[in-house]
């Protein structure tokens, strides 16, 4: 049984002894980075600066919610809108690993800039066990480079602190509950954001499509779980595929893209089972997506793959 109180006490003590100076935390607003921020904040107070980077690949209204959360947690924070830089760097990039590396590297570049200006010595990341296990090393194959692990340059000037490195997601949630944090039950969202839910080039236009589709999937599934039509999955979202198919809008031929619905149950993200979504809910999602995304999307499919062999995210 994971002992949250003991973990918090020992970690805060350890952080007090080891972090001697200012630290910067990469704050995405997810449960990992929020718990990490809370622990380090308890240890060094306002010497911790939380930096949220809006990459342009956040979900609908998410960056505004992250800002509110940083205020609620009384963190000393900075908000950087870097969306233009991300879209420029990702122009023409299709390979998933290249996308992940570009996104991770730009994160670090932006953090290093802040760190230099503010004379910060430490970088705090909410890395958890599946992140570094899947990112590979001498012993393991790289399944995918999780951006908070795979994007770190070898000659990074900042000293790295990863208080949650040995924990799995269910344990991080136990910590969040013990710390009374509102984000404790939030579904996971990957560091590279919607960019890895757009298969192929992550342009601004394609990002708007997947953002709306993700919003619809979340909204319908949350409504269905509230009225007890289904159990809330561990994670549920939309993926935009680079596949065109023929459809019909009114009496006109349409040639649009495909959205895949992905919903999974998991405990620790190392394995997962696809979630059974009732047909009535799939129907609502499909109709809403094709209605609101007009001629851009004329087909919706449902991913029924477990992990393994599929990973949770498609890239
Ligand atoms: P996969 O797709 O590897 O995902 O089965 C396992 C869990 O990790 C999330 N994920 C990430 N989280 N940085 C993160 O912090 C990343 O680069 C990243 N890639 C995937 C994914 O959403 C799932 O919950």
Q: For residue 180, with 0-12 CB atoms within 10 Å meaning exposed, 13-18 middle and 19 or more buried, which class applies?
A: exposed
Q: Are residues 224 and 80 in the same domain?
A: no
Q: Are residues 131 and 9 in the same domain?
A: yes
Q: Are residues 205 and 294 in the same domain?
A: yes
Q: How much is the pLDDT for 44?
A: 98
25, 141, 172, 190: which to mutate for ligand 1, most atoms within 8 A of CB? 190
Give the strand pairing for 122-124 and 23-26: parallel
Q: In what order do the strands lie in the sheet with 122-124?
A: 76-81, 48-54, 23-26, 122-124, 159-161
Residue having the nearest C-alpha atom to atom 20 of ligand 1:
190
Q: Are residues 79 and 112 in the same domain?
A: yes
Out of 178, 208, 241, a domain closes at 178
Question: In the beta sheet, which residues pair with residue 261?
Answer: 238, 302
Q: Are residues 128 and 225 in the same domain?
A: no
Q: Are residues 169 and 261 in the same domain?
A: no
Instruction: Tell me if 124 is assigned to some domain.
Output: yes
Q: How much is the pLDDT for 197?
A: 98
**Ligand 1 closest atom vs CA 313:** 2
Q: Are residues 169 and 203 in the same domain?
A: no
108, 133, 312: which to mutate for ligand 1, most atoms within 8 A of CB? 312
Structure token digits, residue 208: 């708007």
Q: Are residues 43 and 157 in the same domain?
A: yes
Taken in order 140, 142, 146, 149, the sign of the CA dihedral is positive
Residue having the nearest C-alpha atom to atom 10 of ligand 1:
190
**Ligand 1 closest atom vs CA 127:** 15
Instruction: Tell me if 238 is assigned to some domain.
Output: yes
Q: Are residues 137 and 79 in the same domain?
A: yes
How many domains, in total, are found in the chain?
A: 2
Q: Which helix (H) or strand (E) holds 292?
A: helix 279-292
Q: Are residues 219 and 167 in the same domain?
A: no
Q: How much is the pLDDT for 150?
A: 64
- Name the residue range of residue 235's domain: 198-302
Q: Are residues 69 and 153 in the same domain?
A: yes
Q: What is the CATH number of the domain that holds 248?
A: 3.30.300.10
Out of 143, 178, 213, a domain closes at 178
Instruction: Tell me if 183 is assigned to some domain.
Output: no
Tens of pLDDT along the chain (315 residues)? 899 999 999 999 999 999 999 999 999 999 999 999 999 999 999 999 999 999 999 999 999 999 999 999 999 999 999 999 999 999 999 999 999 999 999 999 999 999 999 999 999 999 999 989 888 887 788 888 876 766 676 778 889 999 999 999 999 999 999 999 999 999 999 999 999 999 999 999 999 999 999 999 999 999 999 999 999 999 999 999 999 999 998 899 999 999 999 999 999 899 999 999 999 999 999 999 999 998 899 999 999 999 999 999 999
Instruction: Tell me if 184 is assigned to some domain.
Output: no
DSSP letters of 31-47? HHHHHHHHHHHHHHGGG
Instruction: Tell me if 40 is assigned to some domain.
Output: yes
Q: Which helix (H) or strand (E) holds 273?
A: strand 273-274
Give the angle subtended at the CA of 68 by the CAs of 58 and 285, to the nearest 5°.
40
Instruction: Tell me if 89 is assigned to some domain.
Output: yes
Q: How much is the pLDDT for 304?
A: 98
Q: Are residues 26 and 68 in the same domain?
A: yes
Instruction: Tell me if 210 is assigned to some domain.
Output: yes
H helix count then E strand count, the chain: 10, 9
Are 282 and 301 in contact, with CB atoms under 8 Å apart? no
Q: What is the CATH number of the domain that holds 11?
A: 3.40.50.620
Q: For residue 293, with 0-12 CB atoms within 10 Å meaning exposed, 13-18 middle and 19 or more buried, which class applies?
A: buried
pTM above 0.85, yes or no: yes
Q: How far is the CA of 130 from the centre of ligand 1 (A)?
A: 8
**Ligand 1 closest atom vs CA 191:** 13
Residue having the nearest C-alpha atom to atom 3 of ligand 1:
311
- The terminus-to-terminus CA distance of the chain in angstroms comes to 33
Out of 117, 150, 178, a domain closes at 178
Are 49 and 114 in contact, with CB atoms under 8 Å apart? yes
Q: For residue 137, with 0-12 CB atoms within 10 Å meaning exposed, 13-18 middle and 19 or more buried, which class applies?
A: exposed
Instruction: Tell me if 282 is assigned to some domain.
Output: yes
């Amino acid at each position: 049984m994971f002992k949250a109180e003991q973990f918090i006490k020992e970690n805060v003590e350890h952080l007090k002894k080891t972090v001697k100076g200012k630290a910067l935390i990469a704050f995405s607003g997810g449960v990992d980075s929020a718990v990490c921020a809370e622990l380090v904040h308890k240890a060094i107070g306002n010497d911790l600066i939380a930096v949220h980077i809006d990459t342009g690949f956040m979900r609908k209204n998410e960056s505004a919610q992250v800002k509110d959360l940083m205020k609620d947690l009384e963190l000393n924070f900075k908000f950087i809108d870097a969306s233009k830089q991300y879209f420029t760097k990702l122009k023409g990039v299709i390979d998933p690993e290249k996308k992940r590396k570009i996104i991770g590297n730009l994160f670090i570049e932006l953090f290093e800039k802040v760190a230099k200006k503010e004379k910060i010595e430490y970088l705090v990341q909410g890395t958890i066990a599946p992140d570094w296990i899947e990112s590979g090393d001498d012993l393991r194959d790289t399944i995918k480079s999780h951006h908070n692990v795979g994007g770190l340059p070898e000659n990074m000037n900042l000293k790295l602190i990863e208080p949650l490195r040995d924990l799995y997601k269910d344990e991080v949630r136990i910590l969040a509950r013990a710390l009374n944090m509102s984000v404790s039950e939030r579904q996971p969202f990957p560091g590279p954001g919607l960019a890895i839910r757009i298969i192929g080039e992550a342009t601004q236009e394609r990002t708007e499509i997947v953002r709306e589709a993700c919003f619809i999937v979340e909204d319908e599934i949350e409504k269905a779980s509230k009225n007890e039509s289904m159990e809330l999955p561990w994670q549920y979202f939309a993926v935009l595929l680079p596949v065109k198919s023929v459809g019909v809008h009114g009496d006109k031929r349409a040639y649009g893209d495909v959205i895949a619905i992905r919903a999974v149950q998991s405990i620790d993200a190392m394995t997962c089972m696809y979630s059974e979504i009732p047909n009535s809910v799939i129907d609502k999602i499909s109709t809403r997506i094709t209605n609101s995304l007009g001629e851009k999307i004329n087909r919706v499919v449902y991913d029924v793959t477990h992990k393994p062999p599929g990973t949770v995210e498609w890239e």
